[in-house]
């Protein structure tokens, strides 16, 4: 198989569904060995079927990426099984909707642990292995990081932190031969069963995004593979993402006003 991903060992956090799962599927088609990850012991029926079909080229390792020892065990297990790590995709993320001051302390800590500390721990523990393979770290951020979205403060803040992490590590790890990039994901279609946290920690369905003409998960995953293949530092996906990136970069005050106006209109309609 003529593919730059052939026999590459790839860890994708938060990959039991969504973009992470689709990225793993596409990497498998390119000949990579994919380590899927989630916090639950049971990967779910969709991923379980995929693992059975590709038992020699994929595995699932349950680990809460917000827990340092769990992440160290994850990295150790992959190196023991496969002997190397070529690519780490920091995709695990949780979101919540609601006023920050109404969030339970435990919900705040849980989101920060998963979205930010999960990326920090895996970056830290994977570096020695990635140095040997001249590998890559890819942070999956969001257009919500470009300018914070009202009632999504925790998600916006932690996704913005991933951009800062990627920028720091880009220079820090360059002398070791490790490439670090960040994908700023625009609106992407959700599974019908996708949920987000409420301030009290209960779950609610994520609203339909059809009004924003979201990219398909397959198209977003394809952008991620192209970025990895070209070892590109930053990629913004989708029309909504590119619009947000351009306006927030050149006219940040205007973009903030546009977001505030949209938010206030949505509250009046509610």
CATH of domain 9-269: 3.40.50.720
pLDDT category at 90 given cuts 50, 70, 90 is very high
CA 192, CA 203: separation in Å to the nearest integer?
Answer: 14
Q: What integer pLDDT is reported at residue 81 of this predicted model?
A: 97
Cβ distance 19 to 188 under 8 Å?
yes
pLDDT category at 251 given cuts 50, 70, 90 is very high
Mean pLDDT of 151-180: 98
243 token code pair? 């619009």
pLDDT tens for each residue of 13-47:
999 999 999 999 999 999 999 999 999 999 999 99
The pTM score is: 0.94
**98 φψ region: left (φ > 0), alpha (ψ -120 to 50), beta (else):** left
E strand residue ranges, 146-226 = 179-185, 195-197, 203-205
pLDDT category at 210 given cuts 50, 70, 90 is low
Residue boundaries of the structural domains of the chain:
9-269
CA 183, CA 136: separation in Å to the nearest integer?
Answer: 13
pLDDT category at 53 given cuts 50, 70, 90 is very high
Cite the DSSP H helix spans in 36-117.
45-53, 68-82, 105-112
Cβ distance 158 to 112 under 8 Å?
yes
In sequence order, which residues have a C-beta less than 8 Å from that of residue 164 and are 6 or more positions away? none
In sequence order, which residues have a C-beta less than 8 Å from that of residue 113 and are 6 or more positions away? 64, 66, 67
Q: Is the pLDDT of residue 65 over 70?
A: yes
Orientation of helix 153-172 relative to helix 105-112, angle to 10°? 30
pLDDT tens for each residue of 95-153:
999 999 999 999 999 999 999 999 999 999 999 999 999 999 999 999 999 999 999 99
Active site (annotated) includes residue 155: yes
204, β-bridge pairs: 196
Q: What integer pLDDT is reported at residue 3 of this predicted model?
A: 84
pLDDT category at 192 given cuts 50, 70, 90 is low
Residue 2 CA, distance from chain mean position: 27
260 token code pair? 């505030």
Cβ distance 125 to 69 under 8 Å?
no
Q: Which of 33, 125, 155, 255 is catalytic?
A: 155
């Amino acid at each position: 198989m003529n593919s730059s991903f052939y026999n590459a060992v790839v860890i994708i956090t938060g990959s039991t569904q969504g973009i992470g799962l689709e990225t793993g599927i596409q990497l498998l088609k390119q000949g990579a060995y994919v380590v899927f990850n989630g916090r639950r012991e049971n990967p779910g029926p969709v991923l379980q079927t995929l693992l059975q079909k590709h038992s020699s080229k994929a595995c699932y390792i349950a680990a809460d990426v917000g827990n340092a020892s769990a992440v160290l065990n994850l990295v150790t297990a992959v190196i023991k099984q496969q002997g190397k790590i070529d690519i780490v995709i920091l995709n695990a993320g949780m979101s919540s909707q609601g006023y920050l001051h109404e969030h339970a302390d435990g919900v705040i800590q849980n989101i920060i642990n998963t979205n930010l500390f999960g990326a920090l721990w895996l970056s830290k523990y994977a570096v020695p292995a990635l140095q040997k393979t001249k590998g890559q770290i890819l942070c999956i951020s969001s257009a919500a990081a470009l300018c914070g979205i009202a009632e999504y403060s925790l998600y916006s803040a932690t996704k913005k932190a991933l951009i800062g992490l990627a920028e720091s590590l880009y220079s820090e790890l360059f002398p070791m031969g490790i490439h670090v990039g960040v994908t700023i994901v625009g609106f992407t279609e959700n599974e019908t069963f996708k949920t987000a946290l409420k301030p009290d920690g209960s779950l609610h369905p994520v609203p339909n995004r059809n009004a924003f003409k979201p990219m398909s998960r397959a198209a977003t995953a394809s952008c991620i593979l192209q970025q990895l293949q070209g070892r590109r530092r930053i990629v913004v996906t989708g029309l909504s993402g590119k619009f947000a990136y351009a306006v927030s970069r050149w006219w940040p005050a205007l973009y903030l006003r546009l977001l505030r106006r949209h938010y206030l209109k949505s509250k009046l309609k509610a």
